[in-house]
Structure 1
């Protein structure tokens, strides 16, 4: 009877070892998937960081392009104002010179 108990105990231990080995294999596979996922997340984070930097550059360029028409308008109105003021000042100066010349 003692041999039967030993054989049965060894058979039970063998089954436990098989189950443990299967669980270890499953855990190793799961660990590999977690590691792969971690690497993927890291690559995604780097990609998003680069994309944010590119988007910032594009945003700066867009702001510059949007501001250009306003700058052109300001330059044009300043030039028109200066031209009108200069023309009026020139006309007044000419009138004053004609006036002075007429009285002499």
Structure 2
């Protein structure tokens, strides 16, 4: 092998080395972009999980708020019913006492 052939081969190897270095540099940039994207996806997943938990909590709160008027109405009707029954019971009891008192006085 002559000096000229060696020089040509060295030149070719230098060009290939430069080309490979440029490709490695590009790959490093791409690799960093992929890592950044993976971290962003991880953060997004964490945030979405928190958001879903918050939505579930808000859904339960909304259900409780929706049920409140119905509960109040039920409690009110129960109170009115008990008051009416109490009034009827009092009237019957008072009437019985009146009848008993009248029968004792005679």
| Structure 1 segment 23-62 matched on structure 2, within 5 A | 23-62=23-62
1:90 corresponds to which residue?
90
CA distance in 2, matches of 1:51, 1:57: 10
Q: Structure 2 stretches of 5 or more lacking a match?
A: none
CA distance in 1, matches of 2:55, 2:13: 62
CA distance in 1, matches of 2:53, 2:3: 74
2:15 matched to 1:21? no
CA distance in 2, matches of 1:56, 1:96: 58
CA distance in 2, matches of 1:33, 1:42: 14
CA distance in 1, matches of 2:17, 2:65: 71
Matched length: 104
Q: Structure 1 stretches of 5 or more lacking a match?
A: none
CA distance in 2, matches of 1:46, 1:75: 43
CA shift for structure 1 position 55: 1.5
CA distance in 1, matches of 2:5, 2:23: 27
Moved over 4 A (4+): none
2:37 matched to 1:66? no
CA shift for structure 1 position 9: 0.5
* TM-score, scaled relative to structure 2: 0.88
CA shift for structure 1 position 81: 0.9
